[in-house]
C-alpha cells in the first residue's frame, strides 16, 4: 500500500510529508487518504497540545534519573506501556521519549531527564521503555542524537567528541534502541557534533544510524532544530519540526528542481514517513479528536511503586524506618515539605492530575496527624513563587489590549506557555492578553513581585507599574532562552487587604535564536529570613524526629540552563546544620535531578534521595520512611565529594562549559565511575550505591564457561535475604580488560540483576556477557576489538563494593565491526 501511495504522489506532496503542519501534527495528503498524526511530549507524561504548563491534565510519572535509580527494566517497561495509553488519550501516535543522553558533568539542566552516567544501564532501561511504549502501538522517539549533555548555548554549541568515546559512551543507548527495540523514531539534537549540526550530519544520521545499525524509522529534528534545506535532507533528516515548513516546503521543491537534492532522496524520506503512519495504525484508525484526562488507579499504583523503587537510601544511622506508633511528635521542615516537587522543568512538564506533597503523604500515613508540626525554614526558588488563584484572561486581536476581548477565560495559575491560542481568530504573532486577579497577603510587610516573559509584558499593582518586562527587554535563560531574566519589583502590602494585580502581554517577533515562543510567568512572595529559620529550628527542637525536605525544583533542574554549582540553593545548607544541631534525630530527604555536595552529611542521621518521582511523591516517600516498603533505589550516577572531582570539571572552559562555541569532551571514555576508579578519585557515594532495610549473603559466582565464545558467558550468583524484612539486592557485573594499546577504565559495567526477596528466600542473579562486552572501539581499524588475554569479571554490589573477582581467560581476539558482525577471528 505504501509504495502504491508513494508512486501516486507528486513531488510537492512528498515534500509536504517532511515538515510538520503545526507544533504537534504532521501534514495529511487528503487526495490519497494519507492522514495526519500527532506527537506529544514526553518522558514522564503525555501532555496535551494546548500548553506546556496547563491544558488537559495528564498522569505524571517519575523523571528519567528516578527511573535510572530503580535499575528495574521490567518496571520501566510497564511505565512505557502506561505512557502509551496516556498518549492515546491525547490523540497522539508518537511519544517524544525516552531521553538517553549521558550524565557527564552533573550540572546539565536536563540531567534529571536522563537515566544514567553509564551507557549499558541507560540502554537496558531505554530498550524496556521503548518496548513498553511500542507494544501498545505508539511510536517511541529516542533523543537527543547525539552529544547533548549540556544546555549552555545549546542551539549552536559544538560537542567535540572523538569517535572512540562516541562509540563506547554516547552512542550505545541509541544503538541498542535500534537493534533490540526497533525504535520507530529518532530525534536529532540541537547542538553541533564536531562542528556540524546533528540535523545535517551525514556520518551520524546515515552512515552510522541507517547503514551500520540498520535503522529504518524516521529522524525528526528537535523543535526548531533544523537549519537548512538541502543539507538536512541529504544527511538523512526526514521530518522538520515543528510546522509549518521553514526550510522545507517550496524551498525543498526548488532544491530538487535545481539538482541540489535528488528526487529519490525525497521519495525515500517520504516513504519512511508513510511507513511510520502504517506502523502506528494511522491508515486503519482515526485517533480521538478530543483530548481526555484519564487518571487510572493502576497508574497511581505504578507511580507509587516506582517512587519507592527509585528512592536511594544514602545514609542510615539506625533511625529508618520510622515506627509509626512510637513517635509522638514529628517535625516536617523545609522548602520541599509542603510543596510537591514532582517533575523537572522544560518540555518534560505536564499538567498533572494531582500532586501529593511529602507533608500530605506523612499526614495520610499517620493516624495521629496532630503529632505533626510543619515549618518552611527557607526558600530555594530561582523564580518568585508563581501566582495561584482565580485569574481572568482576556484575549484581544492586535497589540495593546484594545477594544473588546475576542475570548475570555478563567485559570488558576499565573503561568502561560501557549502552543495554541484559545481561538482560531487570534494570530499568535499579533495578539495581546490581559490577566487580572486579586492578591490578598496573609502577612503585612514587603512583598516581591516577579515576572519573566517570552514576548513583552508589564505587571501593575493597583494601577502602578511594578514590574516592567517591556521597555529594555533583553533575552535571558528562561523558557529555553527565549524569555528575559526574571524582572522583580517590591511593594509594601497590608495583611487582609485585596490588591488588584494586572498583567498585560503581547508577543515579540524576535525573542531568541530561531525559536519564537509566547509565554509569561508572574508571581508574588513575601521573602523569608532569619525569623523563619529560627522558627524551623524551634519546631525541630520540640520533636522526636525532624524530617527535612530539601533540594531543588523544576526551576533549577530545567531545560534551557545548566546549574551554577552542585550545592543546595538558598540557605538550605544552613537550615540543615541548624536543625541537626537542635535535634539529633534529623533525617534529610533530598529532591534533586542529580548529585549534590553534602558538607552537612556527618551531622544528620539519615539521608534519602527521592529525585522527582511523579504525582505520588508524598505517598511514596511516606511508604519508605515508615517502612511499608523498602528504599529500592541504587545510584545511577556517581555523587562526587566536590564538583571539582567530576571528570568534566577541569578548570578549562573549553572542556566545560565550552569556549568559542565548542565544548571538548577531553575526558574521553572516563565518565562517572570510570573516572573515579581509574584516576583514584574517591566519591562521596559510588555508582550503584544504595542501602536497604534488610541484609543479604552472596554465594560464590558460577560461570557457564571460562572461555569466551560467540554465544557469550553466563555468570550466576545466589543471593539470600538473611534479614527479617523483604528487600531487594542489586548484583552488578563489570569487566576489567588486559592491557591494550589504548587506555581503558579499571572496570566497565556489562550486566546487572536486581532481586526482590522475602526473609529467608534465596534467588539467583543471572547475568550474561558477550564478546562485544570485552571490546573497546579501535578507531584505526574502525571496529570493536577485544584483545587476547585474561579478562577479569568483577561481581560487585556497587562500583566501590567488590565482592568477587574472577579471571576469565580469553585465548582469542575478537574483532567486531560496528554492525556487530564478526569480521575476523584471530588467534
DSSP string, 370-436: GGEEEE------SSPPBPEEEEEEEEEESSSS-SS-SEEEEEEESEEEESS-S-TTSBTTBEEEEEE
Nearest CA-CA partner of 671 in 635, 634, 638: 638
C-alpha cell at 70: 530503580
Residue 554's closest CA among 360, 358, 348? 348
Write down the pLDDT at residue 508: 87
Q: Is domain 388-525 classified as CATH 3.40.190.80?
A: no
| 693 touches 630 (CB < 8 A) | yes
Element (H, E) at 88: helix 73-89
Please tell me the CATH code under which domain 2-279 is placed. 3.20.20.300
Q: Hey, is 49 helix, strand or coil?
A: coil
The CA-based dihedral angle spanning residues 255, 256, 258, 262, taken in that order and rounded to the nearest 10 degrees: 120
Just list the catalytic residues. 222
The low-confidence residues of the chain, meaning pLDDT below 70, are 50, 369, 509-514, 808-827
CB under 8 Å to 160, separation ≥6 — which residues?
Answer: 194, 195, 662, 663, 664, 665
- Superfamily of chain region 695-826: Immunoglobulins (2.60.40.10)
- H or E stretch at 139: strand 139-145
CB 400 within 8 A of CB 506: yes
Instruction: List phi, psi (to 5°) of 99.
Output: -100, 120
Q: How far apart are CA 568 and CA 321, in angstroms?
A: 25
Show the cell assigned to 223. 523543535
SS3 325: coil
Distance CA 558, CA 348 (A): 9
Q: Are 597 and 644 in contact (CB under 8 A)?
A: no
> From the centroid of its chain, how far is CA 90?
21
Give CA separation, 558 vs 342, 617, 635, in Å.
13, 19, 20
pLDDT over 70, % of the chain? 96
Residues 6+ apart with CB under 8 A from 526: 441, 442, 443, 445, 446, 447, 448
Q: Is 184 left (phi over 0), alpha (psi -120 to 50) or beta?
A: alpha
Pairing label, strands 158-160, 192-193: parallel
499 grid coordinates: 490588591
Give me the pLDDT at residue 51, please.
72
Q: Tell me, what's the pLDDT at 514?
A: 58
Q: Could you report the per-residue pLDDT of 110-145, keeping only the tens digit for each?
A: 999 999 999 999 999 999 999 999 999 999 999 999
Q: Which CATH architecture fits 303-381+529-636? A: 3-Layer(aba) Sandwich (3.40)
pLDDT in the model for residue 826 = 23
- Which residues, 6 or more positions from 203, have their beta carbon under 8 angstroms from its beta carbon? none
DSSP-based helix, strand, coil % in the chain, nearest 5 = 25, 30, 50
Contact 184, 203 (CB under 8 A): no
Q: What is the rounded radius of gyration, in angstroms, for the C-alpha atoms of the chain? A: 27
Provide the residue count of the chain.
827
Per-residue pLDDT at 372:
95
Q: CA–CA separation, 511 vs 485, rounded Å?
A: 12
- pLDDT score at 824: 25
Domain range list for the chain = 2-279, 303-381+529-636, 388-525, 695-826
Amino acid at each position: 500500500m505504501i509504495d502504491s501511495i508513494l508512486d501516486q504522489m507528486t513531488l510537492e506532496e512528498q515534500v509536504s510529508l517532511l515538515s510538520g503542519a503545526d507544533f504537534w501534527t504532521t501534514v495529511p495528503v487528503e487526495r490519497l487518504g494519507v492522514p495526519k498524526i500527532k506527537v506529544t511530549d514526553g518522558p514522564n507524561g503525555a501532555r496535551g497540545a494546548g500548553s506546556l504548563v496547563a491544558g488537559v491534565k495528564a498522569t505524571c510519572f517519575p523523571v528519567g534519573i528516578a527511573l535510572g535509580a530503580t535499575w528495574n527494566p521490567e518496571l520501566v517497561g510497564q511505565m512505557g506501556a502506561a505512557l502509551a495509553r496516556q498518549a492515546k488519550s491525547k490523540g497522539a501516535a508518537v511519544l517524544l521519549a525516552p531521553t538517553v543522553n549521558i550524565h557527564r558533568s552533573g550540572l546539565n539542566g536536563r540531567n534529571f531527564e536522563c537515566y544514567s552516567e553509564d551507557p549499558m544501564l541507560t540502554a537496558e532501561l531505554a530498550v524496556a521503555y521503548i518496548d513498553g511504549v511500542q507494544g501498545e502501538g505508539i511510536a517511541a522517539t529516542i533523543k537527543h542524537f547525539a552529544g547533548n549533555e549540556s544546555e549552555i548555548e545549546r542551539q549552536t554549541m559544538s560537542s567535540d567528541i572523538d569517535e572512540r568515546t562516541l562509540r563506547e559512551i554516547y552512542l550505545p543507548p541509541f544503538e541498542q534502541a535500534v537493534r533490540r527495540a526497533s525504535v520507530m523514531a529518532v530525534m536529532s539534537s540541537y547542538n553541533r557534533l564536531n562542528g556540524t549540526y546533528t540535523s545535517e550530519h551525514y556520518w551520524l544520521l546515515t552512515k552510522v544510524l541507517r547503514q551500520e545499525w540498520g535503522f529504518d524509522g524516521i529522524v525528526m529534528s528537535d523543535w526548531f532544530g533544523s537549519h537548512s534545506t538541502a543539507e538536512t535532507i541529504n544527511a538523512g533528516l526526514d521530518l522538520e519540526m515543528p510546522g509549518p515548513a521553514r526550510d522545507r516546503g517550496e524551498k525543498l521543491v526548488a532544491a530538487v528542481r535545481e539538482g541540489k537534492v535528488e528526487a529519490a532522496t525525497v521519495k525515500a524520506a517520504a516513504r519512511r514517513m508513510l511507513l511510520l503512519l502504517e506502523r502506528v495504525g494511522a491508515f486503519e484508525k482515526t485517533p480521538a479528536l478530543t483530548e481526555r484526562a484519564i487518571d487510572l488507579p493502576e497508574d497511581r499504583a505504578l507511580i507509587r511503586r516506582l517512587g519507592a523503587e527509585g528512592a536511594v537510601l544514602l545514609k542510615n544511622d539506625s533511625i529508618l524506618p520510622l515506627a509509626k506508633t512510637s513517635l509522638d511528635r514529628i517535625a516536617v521542615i523545609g522548602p520541599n515539605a509542603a510543596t510537591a516537587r514532582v517533575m523537572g522543568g522544560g518540555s518534560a512538564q505536564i499538567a498533572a492530575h494531582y500532586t501529593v506533597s511529602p507533608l500530605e503523604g506523612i499526614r495520610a500515613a499517620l493516624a495521629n496527624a496532630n503529632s505533626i508540626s510543619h515549618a518552611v525554614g527557607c526558600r530555594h526558588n530561582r523564580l518568585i513563587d508563581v501566582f495561584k488563584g482565580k485569574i481572568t484572561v482576556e484575549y484581544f486581536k492586535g497589540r495593546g489590549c484594545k477594544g473588546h476581548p475576542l475570548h475570555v477565560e478563567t485559570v488558576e495559575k499565573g503561568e502561560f506557555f501557549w502552543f495554541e491560542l484559545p481561538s482560531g481568530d487570534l494570530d499568535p504573532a499579533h495578539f495581546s492578553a490581559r490577566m487580572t486577579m486579586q492578591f490578598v497577603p496573609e502577612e503585612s510587610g514587603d512583598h516581591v513581585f516577579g515576572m519573566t516573559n517570552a514576548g513583552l509584558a508589564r505587571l501593575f499593582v493597583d494601577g502602578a507599574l511594578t514590574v516592567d518586562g517591556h521597555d529594555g527587554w533583553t533575552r535571558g535563560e528562561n523558557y529555553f532562552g527565549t524569555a528575559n531574566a526574571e524582572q522583580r519589583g517590591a511593594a509594601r502590602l497590608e495583611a487582609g487587604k485585596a490588591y488588584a494585580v494586572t498583567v498585560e502581554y503581547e508577543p515579540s517577533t524576535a525573542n531568541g535564536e530561531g525559536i519564537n515562543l509566547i509565554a509569561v510567568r508572574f508571581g508574588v512572595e513575601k521573602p523569608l529570613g532569619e525569623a523563619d529559620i529560627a522558627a524551623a529550628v524551634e519546631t525541630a527542637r520540640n520533636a522526636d524526629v525532624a524530617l527535612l525536605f530539601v533540594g531543588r525544583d523544576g526551576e533549577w533542574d530545567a531545560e534551557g540552563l545548566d546549574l551554577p554549582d552542585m550545592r543546595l540553593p538558598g540557605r538550605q545548607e544552613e537550615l540543615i546544620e541548624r536543625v541537626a544541631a537542635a535535634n539529633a534525630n534529623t533525617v534529610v530527604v533530598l529532591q534533586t535531578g542529580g548529585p549534590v555536595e553534602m558538607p552537612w552529611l556527618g551531622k544528620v542521621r539519615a539521608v534519602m534521595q527521592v529525585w522527582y518521582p511523579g504525582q505520588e511523591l508524598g505517598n511514596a516517600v511516606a511508604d519508605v520512611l515508615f517502612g511499608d516498603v523498602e528504599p529500592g533505589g541504587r545510584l545511577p550516577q556517581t555523587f562526587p565529594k566536590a564538583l571539582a572531582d567530576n571528570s568534566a570539571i577541569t578548570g578549562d572552559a573549553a572542556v566545560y562549559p565550552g569556549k568559542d562555541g565548542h565544548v571538548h569532551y577531553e575526558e574521553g571514555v572516563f565518565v562517572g565511575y570510570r573516572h573515579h576508579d581509574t584516576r583514584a578519585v574517591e566519591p562521596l557515594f559510588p555508582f550503584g550505591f544504595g542501602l536497604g532495610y534488610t541484609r543479604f549473603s552472596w554465594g560464590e559466582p558460577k560461570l557457564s564457561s571460562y572461555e569466551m565464545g560467540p554465544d557469550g558467558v553466563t555468570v550466576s550468583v545466589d543471593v539470600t535475604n538473611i534479614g527479617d524484612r523483604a528487600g531487594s539486592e542489586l548484583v552488578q557485573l563489570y569487566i576489567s580488560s588486559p592491557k591494550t594499546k589504548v587506555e581503558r577504565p579499571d572496570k566497565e559495567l556489562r550486566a546487572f540483576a536486581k532481586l526482590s526477596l522475602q526473609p529467608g528466600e534465596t534467588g539467583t542473579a543471572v547475568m550474561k556477557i558477550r564478546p562485544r562486552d570485552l571490546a573497546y572501539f579501535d578507531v584505526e581499524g574502525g571496529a570493536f576489538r577485544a584483545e587476547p588475554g585474561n579478562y577479569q569479571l568483577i561481581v560487585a554490589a556497587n562500583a566501590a563494593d567488590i565482592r568477587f573477582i574472577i579471571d576469565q581467560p580469553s585465548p582469542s581476539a575478537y574483532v567486531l565491526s560496528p554492525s556487530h558482525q564478526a569480521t575476523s577471528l584471530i588467534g
